[in-house]
Amino acid sequence: MRYLSVFIMLTVLMSSCKSKGALKETNINKNELIEKITTQLKYSPVLKSDFDLSQRRIFPRTVENGELGLVNRRDWTSGFYPGVLWFTYHLTENPEWKDQAIKFTELLEKEQFNGSNHDIGFKMMASYGLGYKYTNNAAYKSVLVESAKTLVTRFDETVGSIRSWDHHKDKWEFPVIIDNLMNLELLYWAWKETGDSVFYNIANSHAKTTIKNHFRSDYSSYHVVNYDTITGVAKDKVTHQGYADDSAWARGQAWALYGYSMAYRETQDPEFLKQAEKVANYIINVATLPNDFVPKWDFSLKDVESEPKDASAAAVMASALYELSTFTTSAENKEEYLKVANGMLASLSTDKYFNTQGADEGFLLKHSTGSKPWKSEIDVPLVYADYYYLEALSRKLELQKK
């Protein structure tokens, strides 16, 4: 009987895959998944009519110990929740989601002038960037251009990079983290919208300096590189969130993969495509992924079984691999990238990683890890996991259309 049940289940999955609403190669019914997403998101307390948007902390970031973690607009994750709403509007074409996305996006307006760290790119592209893409609102364009101007103030010509953090000045002279690649999308966007080559030159300089100093011979990446501002030389290569200085923090590898795929999309520079492909090879064939394609929080862990997963890393990787599959000139690479991306999206859409309806205050995915070394946000939902999961889904659907 057990084998008969398995056969029936597989038959149902295969027939579902052949249906009009299927996501090919994933055994996911598109319409059912979108319905599941929208139903779950409606459980978020911040969408309730009586939620006070005038309070300081309004953007969902996580749920820890059963409590919703809200952050203010200055937090690096604040733009992802508006982005979740924009993607949901894009997937459903329901104007109610658009109204919510506009509301939460415009609460971030003052962040266009916040130059206290590199995260302005994360915040503004996920919120105003998607908002501009889906509405063509000229006011959003102005905010984004100003945000790009703010970001370039953190560039050091001697180092050739954008400074990531201002904290720990007693420890780091000029820290640059691999995550910083993600903020370059704002600069490339501003270059194309304004024609000002300053944005392009700074973004390219940062991306190429990172290639030079952040990667090991196997194309895994260090998390933090500390530079000498007098000579521009990389003094230290360490970690802040990984298992060890010489380990491969999973989400860091995801940022690298996504960052160079994006940089190639914006510039068509073959050096960036090569780097993205090398990082992809490390993730898929050197580090090796588990059977469900969702990595532990660091690829270099010793006692793997007892360590938590990081669904957010898988979501970022899946989104990047879908895009990279459209750029690579190798048929073998394309097939491999799609296989892994489909595997990640399929796993993240199962009950193992997708939340039970009504659980965790409306977050979509569980089992992400924010910062294990700092004992923060371990095995929890994270808003950026949801954001990149929805981006991966959107990219999968676009690929199917083509």
- Which residues have a catalytic role annotated? 119, 179
CB atoms within 10 A of CB 307: 17
In whole angstroms, give the CA distance from residue 234 to residue 167: 18
Contact 310, 319 (CB under 8 A): no
CB atoms within 10 A of CB 90: 19
Please tell me whether residue 308 adopts helix, strand or coil conformation.
coil
Phi/psi of residue 157, each to 5°?
-65, -35
73 assigned ligand-binding residue: no
Strand partners, 368: 380
265 assigned ligand-binding residue: no
Q: What is the CA radius of gyration of the chain?
A: 20
Residues 6+ apart with CB under 8 A from 226: 172, 173, 174, 175, 176, 234, 235, 236, 237, 238
The residue with tokens 């938590």 is 308
246 to each of 216, 222, 231, 236, 342, how far by Cα in Å? Answer: 9, 7, 24, 11, 30
371 assigned ligand-binding residue: yes
The two beta strands, 376-380 and 28-29, are unpaired
251 assigned ligand-binding residue: yes
Residues 6+ apart with CB under 8 A from 390: 37, 83, 84, 87, 88, 91, 364
154 to each of 72, 114, 211, how far by Cα in Å? Answer: 22, 11, 19
The residue with tokens 């999973």 is 250
CB atoms within 10 A of CB 80: 25
328 assigned ligand-binding residue: no
Which DSSP symbol is given to 15?
A: H
Contact 177, 224 (CB under 8 A): yes
298 assigned ligand-binding residue: no
Write the single-letter amino acid at 73.
R
In whole angstroms, give the CA distance from residue 275 to residue 273: 5
Helix (H) or strand (E) holding 63: strand 59-64
Q: Which residues are annotated as a binding site?
A: 119, 179, 239, 251, 255, 371
Q: Which residues are annotated as a binding site for substrate?
A: 119, 179, 239, 251, 255, 371
